[in-house]
A = this chain, B = another copy of it.
Amino acid sequence: MNQNPKILSGTELSSAVFSKLSNRIVNLKNKSITPTLAVILVGENPASKVYVRNKTKRFEDLSLESKTILFDQDVSEAELINKISELNSDVNIHGILVQLPLPGHIDSEKILLSINPIKDVDGFHPYNLGHLAAGVPTFIPCTPKGIMRFFEHYDYELKGKHVVVVGRSNIVGRPISILTSLKKKYSDATTTICHSGSKNIYNYTKVADIIILAIGSPNFLKAEHIKNGAIVIDVGINRIIDSNGKPILVGDADFTSLKNKVEAITPVPGGVGPMTIAMLVENTVEAAEKLTKHS
């Protein structure tokens, strides 16, 4: 049993990311450029509103700009595409983010496709996802990119390790399964992707060196489902009611159960979440740099 597990703090690591970015931001500001993110938010989804507020607040803290463009729930696809097209041409906008999920009558795929890939700081455009799959990443989706930073920062070499990813979303599971198995430093793992169609997921987690959870199932993974000394990265953010009737946030990992058996684990909150936002800022700064070079 490992009695001194490492709690991988995303709050701490994201501060280090912001410090490192400050030079790049100053360089841009010296050229009168303020990295600016446009966020499209449709409807009244309370979770989406919280996510967007958290993201934009971080931009303000760093003296960067963000503009949130609100649309009613019944907005048409054409209206959204028109707005995105306007943002694509706007030289003062460097990153464009469409907060998901969109209402059912909107084809999300079509909307994402309308974003100019060079401003797609979320990395969800097939052009960027395809570059990732081809091993020549352009914009990497923020959550997977943030996860890789934990491995790099704490010097966890993945080469030859068995990574088990639980979840296959385009936002987390799919890209992190690709990223961890690329032929690159801090990657190069043998990676298994599990999902809703898998049988006996715990048979896979039990033999994994590193487990990445992204399914949104509270306390899905417990001590009996891992081997000693595994590393657990928890992307889940689930709102549940605790035994005192208080609403709390928990991950897909049962932190209390796992913490004495793991080599390292990310907490919820304060683990992957802050890194996702840090990578969004980093991608926006990168977009501003690229667009400046191209102009």
Contact = CB atoms under 8 A, between A and B. Distances in A.
A176 to B, nearest CB: 12
A160 interface: yes
Contacts of A119: none
Interface in A192-228: 192-199, 201, 204
A130 B126 contact: yes
B193 A190 contact: yes
Nearest to A136: B109
> Nearest 5 CB-CB pairs, A to B?
A130-B130, A126-B130, A188-B197, A129-B130, A160-B199
Interface string A32-66: 00000000000000000000000000000000000
Nearest to A187: B197
Give the contact-size bracket for chain A: 35 or more
A170 interface: yes
A189 B188 CA distance: 22
Contacts of A136: 109, 126
Contacts of A201: 190
Given A109-B136, A131-B126, A133-B132, A196 B174 contact: no
19 contacts: A109-B136, A126-B126, A126-B127, A126-B133, A126-B134, A129-B133, A130-B131, A133-B133, A134-B170, A135-B174, A160-B199, A174-B178, A181-B193, A183-B195, A189-B197, A190-B193, A190-B194, A190-B198, A192-B193
Contact of A183 (B129, B182, B197): B197
Interface of A: 109, 124-136, 159-160, 168, 170, 174-175, 177-178, 181-183, 188-199, 201, 204
A195 B190 contact: yes
B204 A190 contact: yes
A125 B178 CA distance: 17
A236 to B, nearest CB: 19
A191 B192 contact: yes
Given A127-B130, A129-B134, A131-B126, A195 B181 contact: yes
A183 B194 CA distance: 11
Contacts of A189: 197
Contact of A191 (B159, B183, B193): B193
Nearest to A170: B134
A134 B111 CA distance: 14
A135 B129 CA distance: 11
Contact of A133 (B130, B182, B196, B198): B130
Contact of A159 (B109, B131, B197, B204): B197
Contacts of A182: 168
Contacts of A197: 159-160, 183, 188-190
Nearest to A199: B160
B183 A168 contact: yes
Nearest to A197: B188
